[in-house]
Amino acid sequence: MSDPGRTSPSSPSSPGPGQDPGPAVHRPSRAPARRAVLGGAAAAAAGLALAGCGDSGEGGGEPRGRRKGQKITLTFWSWVPGIDKPVALWNKSHPEVQVKLEKVSAVGGAQYAKMHAAIKAGNPPDLGQIEYPVVPSFLLDNGLLDLTEFGAADVKGKFEGWQWQQSVFGKSVFAVPQASGPMGLFVRQDLFDRWDIGTPETWDAYEAAAKALRRKGAWIETFSATNGNRFAGFAWQAGARWFRTEGETWVVSIDDAPTRKVADYWESLVKRKLVKTIPDRQNAWYKDIQTGAIAAWAGASWGDALLVGNAPKTAGKWRVAPLPQWRKGGNAAANWGGSTTSVFRGTKYPQDAVDFAVWLNTDPASIKLLIDGGYGWPSAVSGWSNADLEGQRDFFGGQEYSTVFRAAGKAVDTSWQWGPAMDTLYQRLGDAFTEALGDGGSFRSVLTTVQRQTVQDLKAKGLKVETG
């Protein structure tokens, strides 16, 4: 699953049920934490020291793992729709290692708050669904298991290289990739054709299409103030670099020139009333999508199932196009979200937990079930085909739309690096954009504010930080 704000396609706004922490698990050591190196997330980059990754295990080397023939249960927190089916498949074929799935609400980051609280209380689950951008914040919490000693290096080749690197810091691997979210433009082709509006290939053409749609009484889009991860995708495509490392120092550049360009662009559309400002993927937005009041959406590959589940009467009317470019003929892509299956340091059965995480995301039968549930673009390099991703082809007028997302995935700039505490950063972006919409403040002031807040946040965590 590529985005935590997305819930089941048939129930867009309902939170997942609250869950208890599950059976008691191994409590992390309270010994003084060692410092772990967090390098670049997209490639082996210069490292930096980050406090908080202590030795796993309690009591100075207490043996971990199950005995031969022992039957155990692993707990797994996830919000991915349909993930119960691959879990059930695993349980059927692995009688000694059962996985207890607990669905957690992904509304407003509730799942991460629950996970952080469980880590602090010493009773996290064995495994959890964690997005790529949020992995570093769990390292700050000393919450994730280093998978290196449990065979992680042996499965590296099973995954897309840049996605594998998202959870590699220094020489350590902290998560197994599950899916990514290459972005494209979902278009109501029937409305564009009816009003003789061309599918926009550039952001200038997108603006022109927005004007043409307003003259017809429709809207091209919404600027969703609280959707910080989509805004990050736009900045990524424009060439922004919000974080980089220099030695042991994080350099923060949220207020860089490419991001200011993106902010200026959307502020202009908002102030000229060429786009709406309602939150996307909530009830009012779904109504607009179904009625044709909104005729396009710049979204991620996992958006196909979302549209199918929430706008069934528009079947056959949608198409997918590449994300508009900043220059004509360009080929800059972006990624929105992306998930991992992570193992928490508290697990008593690390090898079994790692084995399940790898199986879940590489076994062809599991991948097929995950695709059927609409979990995103597979991180595994094999075990699936384009055709597997086009179960909704009729909804898109017979278009082989997966080719658009495959091309986007290959064009993503893999030098983008996530920083620590991205969940907090997204919240701060949402708050600041919402305030700007309310009082007419500039979007550039949002970037200035969030830049300052992020530097302060990282310094408060004991990290070395500079402003880029």
Which residue ranges form the domains of the chain, and what is each CATH number? Answer: 35-180+337-384 (3.40.190.10), 183-335+394-467 (3.40.190.10)
At residue 104, the pLDDT reads 93
Q: Identify which of 328, 325, 327, 354 has the alpha carbon closest to the alpha carbon of residue 341.
A: 354
CA atoms 434, 437, 443, 449: torsion sign: negative
3-state SS assignment for residue 276 = strand
Per-residue pLDDT band for 375 (boundaries 50, 70, 90) equals confident
H or E segment and range at residue 173: strand 172-173
The dihedral sign for the CA sequence 86, 91, 92, 93: positive
3-state secondary structure of 370: helix
| Confidence at residue 42, expressed as pLDDT on a 0 to 100 scale | 28
Q: Is residue 47 predicted with pLDDT exceeding 60?
A: no
Token pair of 441 as six digits:
């403040």
Cα–Cα distance between 46 and 161 in angstroms, integer?
18
Output the CA–CA distances (angstroms, integers) from residue 264 to 184, 191, 215, 261, 440, in the order listed: 21, 28, 23, 5, 13
Q: Which of 24-28, 35-39, 164-168 has the lowest mean pLDDT?
A: 24-28
Instruction: Report the pLDDT averaged over residues 5-23.
Output: 32
**Is there a contact between 323 and 333 (Cβ–Cβ < 8 Å)?**
yes
Angstrom distances, CA of residue 382 to CA of 1, 165, 367? 18, 18, 10
Per-residue tokens: 78: 């996830």
For residues 127 and 353, is the Cβ–Cβ distance under 8 A? yes
Asked if pLDDT for residue 114 goes beyond 70, the answer is yes
CA distance 287 to 299: 17
Q: What is the DSSP letter of 35?
A: E
Contact 238, 324 (CB under 8 A): no
Q: What are the Cα distances from residue 257, in Å, to 236, 253, 260, 389, 459?
A: 12, 9, 5, 36, 24
DSSP assigned state of 421: T
pLDDT range class, residue 18, cuts 50, 70, 90? very low
The gap between the terminal CA atoms of the chain, to the nearest Å, is 32
Q: Specify the pLDDT at position 166.
A: 85
Q: Which is more confidently placed, 150 or 376?
A: 150
Rounded Cα–Cα distance for residues 303 and 402 (Å): 12
Pick from 42, 127, 141: nearest CA to 80: 127
Nearest CA-CA partner of 199 in 291, 292, 298, 272: 298
pLDDT digits (tens, 9 = 90+) for 268-300: 999 999 999 999 999 999 999 999 999 999 999
* Residues ≥6 apart with Cβ < 8 Å to 208: 200
Contact 179, 159 (CB under 8 A): no
d(Cα 111, Cα 220) in Å, to the nearest integer?
32
How far apart CA 423 and CA 112 sit, in angstroms, is 8
- For residue 229 the two structure tokens come to 């991860």
* Mean pLDDT, the chain, whole residue set: 85
**Beta carbons within 10 angstroms of residue 117's beta carbon:** 12
